[in-house]
Structure 1
């Protein structure tokens, strides 16, 4: 009956069925406002003061660099947050991880964590599938989690999805022609033209299957649109797809981004080790593979 979820321990049958049918599920007000406020303050501390650590990577909105903006008005993402005690309160937040468990199972690793900021004037993030970025599988053992920190609407660039598109295979992508940001890829010649926009309030959280087609629009307002996000995998995921041709390009991008801070990096999969942390349950194939690098 259920192909894309694991159990009904923390989700109702109706919620599981919605995720099965659509490839995403929104749970309103899932994340506590105090937790989000702490993460917002930490984000501002990082991007406005120039604070940097060996782990946190600060990325800037390339389309705005010519305007001589600074701090929150220029930073569009900070990532690799698992070793930051403030941001980690989100990644290991029990109500959130409980839902993850109902989707992928009780043995859980976080493999990516980030705060995404859309400052005024920020460009769109074109249609893509998150699985394009991942060199491991199986695909149904991965889930993305995205929590609104601000009101998200069409005007400020909310997420949009194509319900049911997770039932298709991984589609061809290309380096984004509609973006100046590094590492943004978009689907080639996607025929669907009527996305469903996810209108969300702070604390609302969407769970995304890694094959569901989605994106976000530009921020046409004078306000910010922030979200905090993590990706989780079942601990027995393995690096079964890391030799896909496009992963060669991904490897170059990741090495360029990490090599200045992590001189010990030896290969592409090594970069996943420094981005990942066991969250719940018992180590599996994923941990065993990384421990051998």
Structure 2
């Protein structure tokens, strides 16, 4: 099963991303969405953990409880909310299914439907075509991009948060469970930007200190004219090199933009940084993609 053609492989390595149509069927997309609805229905989140997710300045990490909730989420299923969905008492001001920014970071380990998609023959075929010898799953997320309130994701590189030595060993697989359009917040990329390294890293701070994470270095300023949109139809996917610069705009439309995404690392001859916020645990070592 060759999902990628040779020209696709070449395009991915040259531009740092690749749009693939039809990775999942509409029925598979609908099943993943339905299962997430069931997860949300029984969602029970402690008051102090009703945190708002931001890639801009990690507002969610400003209190000890919130920081703990985030940094220990790598082997669990936890909930991260959009801005403005709670009142001053911590009560929802929107329906709970419209409140979430994302759910992460171990759907691939604890939810059979998500696990099956993550380890599917199609995804394994992609990794093999890219000559990955021993790819492992780092994390997974369900991203909602809620209508009218779906927040902006500012320009960034995934390697800022998922750092390896050498660089270039991480790839995101971003699967559209609904059409991702110019109106509802599709991804935008700077083609070729994965060839210039990174200038910022998110690292764990020394044990016993607060905050639990900090940034080393600074994000560059990017010319808006360099960004190219990557809309994709329901069931399509975008492969994202760990160093390519990408962003998405706010969703001010009436349509949501649900996505299931996960990150793969080539573990062969690769050092996963012990300073990364995300670490394998005894309960959940990074599972091999090929099993």
Q: TM-score, normalised by structure 1?
A: 0.74
CA deviation map 1:120-156 (0-9, x unaligned): 2121010000011114343332211001111111211
* Contact 1:49 1:71 (C-alpha < 8 Å) held by counterparts: no
Change (3 A) 1:26 1:272: farther
Instruction: Name structure 1 gaps, 5 residues minimum.
Output: 1-8, 176-182, 255-268, 282-293
Q: State which of 36, 52, 60 in structure 1 corresponds to 2:81.
A: 60
Secondary structure at the residue paired with 2:250?
coil
Quick check: 133-142 or 83-92, which moved more? 133-142
Shift in Å, 1:51: 6.2
State how far apart, in whole Å, the 2-side matches of 1:130 and 1:275 are.
20
Q: Which residue of 2 aligns with 1:78?
A: 103
State how far apart, in whole Å, the 2-side matches of 1:184 and 1:37 are.
38
Q: Which residue of 2 aligns with 1:123?
A: 151
State how far apart, in whole Å, the 2-side matches of 1:184 and 1:74 are.
27
State how far apart, in whole Å, the 1-side matches of 2:286 and 2:36 are.
20
Change (3 A) 1:270 1:276: closer
Paired residues, what number? 245
Secondary structure at the residue paired with 1:274?
coil
CA deviation map 1:257-283 (0-9, x unaligned): xxxxxxxxxxxx3459737322216xx
Residues 265-280 of structure 1 aligned to structure 2 (within 5 Å): 269-271=279-281, 274=284, 276-280=286-290
* Contact 1:31 1:96 (C-alpha < 8 Å) held by counterparts: no
Q: State which of 85, 93, 100 in structure 1 corresponds to 2:120.
A: 93
Change (3 A) 1:32 1:184: farther
Secondary structure at the residue paired with 2:233?
coil
Q: TM-score, normalised by structure 2?
A: 0.75
Residues 249-260 of structure 1 aligned to structure 2 (within 5 Å): 250=277
Residues 102-113 of structure 1 aligned to structure 2 (within 5 Å): 102-113=129-140
